[in-house]
């Protein structure tokens, strides 16, 4: 087993943020999360959401790891499209958990200036909390409110998948509710990397490589009802990771490995193993670019339904 030198990428939020942006920049155009909301999730949760929205009590949402709010507001927009009644405003409450200060402030700014497309159909109240998920759980009171929806949009990787799901099912949801997990698919190149290198002791943060299979395993273990969507695939241009002089390439390599400054801190042998994996996983697009497939989707857990 290899001895790791260096640190997990998530220990430096600034570096993580830059690496994440490099990852987004390397993907083909389009937002796979938004596409999954619109093409799959809306159908899978539509009936339940409509019934709850129309009973006039606040529809309560807990967003874990909400980032700058982009995905959360896309989810709210999705709700507006599936409501049956158009003649009155609905009541929404969303609690937001986001530990990154910069992302938190970006969310706050968006919440203070909601687009007309949201304000026209719903009265929305936000409870914004700049804290980690773990701190939130520790501080939670027994008599706290219950939620209709808890969503983890690519944030289960950092919350501790099994305990997070079990806590939210038992403590955050009411008698009825759903947990929406947007997560990498088992056949995504990213997940394949985590699976391949965990055996070599070269994974700093195993949770970063959780997949839809892990969520389904927890649901089945606990006897929960769930559905899974077919997911969305995006190609990722990883050409730059093979150029040691490329800043964007080094940031992308950090994200793919979840290893801070991996090109500098990994041994020469380990670095070559990593590059060989991505070389073998990629295909040439005919223009000299090396492309890999990243696939993500949704697993939706139902309670009391």
111-164 confidence digits (pLDDT tens): 999 999 898 888 999 999 999 999 999 999 888 999 999 999 989 888 889 999
Mean pLDDT confidence for 257-281? 95
The token pair that represents 68 in the structure block: 């700058």
203 close to 265: Cβ distance less than 8 angstroms: no
Distance CA 19, CA 200 (A): 23
pTM, full prediction: 0.90
What stretches of 44-159 adopt beta strand conformation (E)? 59-64, 90-97, 122-129, 147-153
CA distances from 107 to 34, 172, 222, 249, 252 (A): 17, 22, 34, 28, 25
pLDDT of 158-167, one tens digit each? 888 999 999 9
């Amino acid at each position: 087993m290899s001895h790791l030198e260096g640190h997990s990428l998530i220990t430096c939020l600034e570096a993580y943020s830059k690496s994440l942006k490099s990852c987004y920049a390397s993907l083909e155009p389009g937002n796979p999360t938004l596409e999954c909301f619109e093409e799959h999730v809306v159908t899978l949760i539509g009936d339940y959401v409509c019934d709850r929205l129309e009973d006039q009590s606040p529809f309560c949402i807990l967003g874990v790891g909400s980032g700058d709010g982009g995905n959360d507001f896309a989810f709210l927009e999705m709700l507006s499209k599936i409501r049956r009644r158009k003649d009155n405003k609905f009541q929404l409450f969303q609690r937001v958990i986001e530990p990154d200060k910069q992302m938190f402030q970006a969310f706050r700014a968006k919440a203070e200036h909601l687009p007309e497309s949201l304000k026209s159909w719903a009265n929305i109240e936000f409870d914004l909390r700049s804290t980690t998920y773990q701190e939130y759980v520790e501080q939670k009171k027994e008599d706290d409110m219950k939620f209709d929806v808890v969503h983890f949009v690519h944030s289960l990787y950092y919350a501790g998948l099994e305990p997070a799901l079990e806590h939210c099912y038992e403590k955050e949801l009411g008698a009825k509710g759903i947990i929406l997990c947007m997560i990498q698919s088992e056949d995504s190149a990213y997940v394949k990397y985590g699976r391949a290198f965990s055996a070599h002791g070269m994974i700093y943060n195993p949770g970063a490589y959780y997949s839809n299979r892990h969520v389904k395993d927890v649901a089945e273990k606990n006897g929960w009802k769930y559905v899974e969507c077919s997911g969305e695939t995006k190609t990722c241009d990883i050409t730059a990771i093979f150029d040691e002089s490329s800043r964007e390439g080094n940031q992308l390599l950090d994200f793919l490995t979840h290893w801070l400054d991996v090109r500098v801190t990994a041994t020469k042998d380990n670095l070559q193993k990593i590059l060989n994996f991505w070389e073998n996983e990629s295909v040439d697009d005919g223009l000299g670019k090396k492309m890999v497939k990243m696939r993500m989707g949704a697993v939706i857990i139902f309670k009391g339904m």
